[in-house]
């Protein structure tokens, strides 16, 4: 049976359990947008293609399927690139579909050309996706979509891109349905017996867990590993949501937003450092010095690219599926969970109390944590606001805090939270962001308003790009281009888009605003005015100038 290419695409979306797609319409993709609507999938009109890509990623993350972002040709596609790069770093499967005016007219002068005669979107997407292809004929859709789906869903998950010309969308082809691949990678390392021996012999080990633990949802496996071998746990910024704050083995975070407790433990003579799902990037190892070097590193990771590159000590790679390899270690060792209170207690510094009557960001984060349900899901944006949360926002339930500390696109968490709430309307979804991020992608709050998506957007407003301002000032003695002469009035900005908004100056204001937001049937923007002179926990990341 033959159907139009656009129909076959939408039927496959439904096969994958997709109920929402995200994008901005244009002529070259109009047949696909109309078919999405006809087939009962909600088309979410975003305010910028990057916002649509962020929303599709948040949706995929929470829905456990492939997110769909659809944009027109030319600039519609180039606007997707940042969202694609963010999804690749976060290992989230998103299918980006872009248009092209007409295959039959390719080679002529065309407006918003996406082929190699114009901006060549396929090439542009290649570095920021797992696969990027140009579907030049309708009969190629099956093989291209099949290949894209496998690249998005198996092994190291991530975004993929297909550019499909207008006239190709209109072609008739044999219909087909491609299920999500069930041959998910479960590669088991051959060196697990050696890992077990190292753990059994370790005198003072430490577990260092990153965002790969969150991506693999290996929460239970990490807990059993820690409890069985009595290993204290340190979280990298991206691994913040993988381990409960109040577990007796939790030493808190290291890197940006890290704690003195973790730093002191690392300086106390670690012999085996077990790294799970962290590439040990500069954000994760910010403040890491030679006194902290362990004798050995065991590193659980999907691939070899960054193993042994950051800490120059003997490193034992455990390659393949992180969760499956952890399970195999547990099974081979006969490991089981148990309580352990034998962890050195080191007081965490009390950072940045009230100054001149202004609310501190530390107080704001602690009030936020005490006001939200324990199982609320919080997305951290790019900026000092999130690194305050890395240090001071307690985790009760693993899998309730998401942060990418590597690519860090400003404003991405705004879209991620919107997409996540659409995928899981029963969950409390919140976003912690800043005034700088709001001026990047804050207009996506209008998307949440128009689709009645009750997300809590918590905005720490200090009238500046705080992480840049403080880092530059600390390292060079002055700051350039990081302070707004006329700061954003976040609550009025939000109200102009139709959102509920509150401006908070005290901890009680925050508690009342969140209580109201939890009852709202639409998005709420909670602006928190914080001390602009407060120093965030990011100064271990040094700026070097030649």
- CB of 29 closer than 8 Å to CB of 169: yes
Residues, the chain, total?
546
413 located within any domain: yes
What pLDDT, on the 0 to 100 scale, is given for residue 352? 42
| Residue 282 covered by a domain | yes
Q: Distance (Å, rounded) from C-alpha 204 to C-alpha 546?
A: 39
Q: Do the Cβ atoms of 407 and 380 come closer than 8 Å? A: no
Nearest to 275 by CA among 252, 230, 308: 308
The CATH number of residue 237's host domain is 3.40.50.1220
Same domain, 200 and 237: yes
Nearest 5°: the CA angle 34, 37, 39 is 110
Question: In the Cβ-directed half-sphere of 255, how many Cα atoms lie within 13 Å?
Answer: 24
Q: How far apart are CA 46 and CA 26, in angstroms?
A: 13
Please measure the distance between the N-terminal and C-terminal CA atoms of the chain and give it in whole angstroms. 66
Write down which residue in 115, 139, 174 finishes a domain. 174
Q: Are residues 139 and 209 in the same domain?
A: no
CATH assignment at residue 25: 3.40.50.970
- Residue 11 in domain: yes
Residues 379 and 516 in one domain: yes
Give φ, ψ of 326 to 5 degrees: -65, -40
Do residue 489 and residue 385 come from a single domain?
yes
| Beta carbons within 8 Å of 350's beta carbon, 6+ residues apart | none
pLDDT reported for residue 477: 81
Could you tell me what percent of the chain has a pLDDT over 70?
Answer: 92
Q: Looking at the structure, tell me whether residues 66 and 101 fall in a common domain.
A: yes
State residue 537's pLDDT score: 86
Nearest to 24 by CA among 93, 125, 97: 97
Q: Cα–chain-centroid distance for residue 371?
A: 23
Task: Give me the residues of the chain with pLDDT under 50, please.
Answer: 340, 342-355, 544-546
Structure tokens at 380: 């951290």
Q: Verify that 39 and 85 share a domain, yes or no.
A: yes
Examine the fold and report which residue of 111, 143, 174 is the final residue of a domain before the chain moves on. Answer: 174
pLDDT at 102: 76
Domain that holds residue 42: 2-174
| Residue 262 counted as domain residue | yes
- pLDDT for position 468: 86
In a domain, 182, yes or no: no
Shared-domain flag, residues 102 and 75? yes
Per-residue pLDDT, 347: 38
What are the structure tokens assigned to 428, written together? 């409390």
| 239 phi and psi angles, rounded to 5 deg | -95, 10
Answer yes or no: do 384 and 507 share one domain: yes
CA distances from 247 to 144, 164, 222, 493 (A): 47, 50, 12, 40
CA distance 272 to 204: 7
323 is written with which tokens?
A: 């969760």
Report the number of distinct structural domains present in the chain.
Answer: 3
How many CA atoms does the CB half-sphere of 523 hold within 13 Å? 33
**Alpha-carbon distance 192 to 345, whole Å?**
31
Q: Do 398 and 537 sit in the same domain of this protein? A: yes
Domain boundary among 147, 174, 201: 174
Tokens at residue 77, please? 């596609």
Q: In the beta sheet, which residues pair with residue 300?
A: 276, 318
Asked whether 227 and 338 are in contact (CB, 8 A), the reply is yes
Asked if the structure places residue 72 within a domain, the reply is: yes
The answer for 519, left when phi > 0, alpha when psi is -120 to 50, beta otherwise, is: alpha
Q: What is the pLDDT of residue 355?
A: 47
Asked if residue 296 belongs to a domain, the reply is yes
Tell me, yes or no, whether 207 and 295 share the same domain. yes
Q: What is the CA radius of gyration of the chain?
A: 24
Does any domain span residue 110? yes
> Is the same domain home to 49 and 132?
yes
Same domain (yes/no): 125, 10: yes
Burial of 477 (0-12, 13-18, 19+ CB in 10 A): exposed
166 three-class SS: helix
């Amino acid at each position: 049976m033959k159907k139009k290419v656009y129909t076959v695409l939408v039927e496959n979306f439904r096969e994958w359990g997709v109920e929402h797609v995200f994008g901005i319409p244009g002529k070259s993709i109009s047949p696909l947008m109309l078919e999405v609507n006809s087939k009962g999938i909600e088309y979410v009109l975003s305010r910028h293609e990057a916002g649509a890509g962020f929303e599709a990623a948040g949706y995929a993350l929470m829905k456990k399927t492939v997110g769909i972002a659809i944009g027109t040709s030319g600039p519609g596609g180039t606007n997707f690139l940042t969202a694609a790069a963010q999804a690749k770093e976060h290992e989230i499967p998103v299918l980006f579909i872009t248009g092209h005016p007409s295959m039959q007219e390719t080679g002529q002068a065309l407006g918003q050309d996406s082929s190699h005669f114009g901006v060549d979107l396929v090439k542009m997407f290649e570095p920021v996706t797992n696969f990027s292809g140009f579907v030049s004929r309708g009969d190629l859709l099956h093989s291209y979509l099949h290949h894209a789906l496998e690249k998005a869903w198996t092994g190291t998950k991530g975004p993929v891109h297909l550019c499909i010309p207008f006239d190709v969308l209109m072609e008739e082809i044999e219909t087909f349905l491609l299920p999500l691949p069930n041959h998910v990678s479960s590669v088991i390392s051959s060196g697990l017996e050696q890992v077990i021996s190292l753990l059994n012999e370790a005198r003072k080990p430490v577990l260092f867990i990153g965002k790969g633990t969150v991506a693999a949802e290996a929460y239970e496996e990490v807990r059993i590993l820690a409890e069985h071998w009595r290993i204290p746990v340190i979280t990298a910024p991206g691994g913040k949501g993988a381990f409960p704050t109040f577990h007796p083995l939790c030493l808190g975070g290291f890197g940006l937003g890290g704690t003195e407790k973790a730093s002191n433990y690392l300086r106390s003579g670690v012999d085996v450092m077990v790294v799970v799902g962290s590439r040990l990037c500069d954000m994760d190892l910010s403040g890491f010095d030679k006194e902290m070097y362990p004798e050995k590193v065991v590193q659980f990771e999907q691939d070899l690219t960054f193993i042994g590159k950051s800490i120059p000590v003997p490193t034992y790679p455990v390659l393949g599926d992180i969760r499956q390899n952890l399970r195999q270690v547990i099974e081979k060792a006969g490991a089981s969970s148990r309580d352990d209170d034998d962890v050195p207690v080191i007081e965490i510094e009390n950072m940045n109390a009230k100054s001149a009557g202004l609310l501190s960001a530390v107080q704001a984060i602690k009030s936020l944590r005490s006001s939200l349900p324990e199982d609320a899901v919080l997305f951290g944006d790019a900026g000092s606001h999130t690194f305050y949360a890395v240090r001071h926002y307690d985790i009760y339930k693993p899998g309730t805090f998401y942060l990418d500390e590597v690519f860090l696109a400003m404003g991405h968490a705004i879209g991620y939270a919107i997409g996540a709430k659409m995928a899981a309307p029963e969950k409390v979804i919140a976003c912690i962001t800043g005034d700088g991020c709001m001026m990047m992608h804050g207009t996506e709050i209008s998307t949440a308003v128009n689709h009645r998506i009750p997300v809590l957007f918590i905005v720490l407003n200090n009238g500046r790009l705080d992480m840049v301002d403080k880092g530059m000032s600390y390292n060079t003695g002055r700051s350039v281009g990081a302070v707004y002469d006329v700061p954003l009035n976040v609550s009025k900005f939000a109200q102009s888009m139709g959102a509920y908004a509150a401006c908070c100056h005290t901890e009680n204001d925050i508690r009342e605003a969140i209580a109201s937001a939890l009852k709202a049937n639409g998005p709420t923007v909670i602006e928190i005015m914080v001390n602009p002179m407060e120093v965030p926990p990011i100064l271990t990341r040094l700026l070097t100038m030649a």
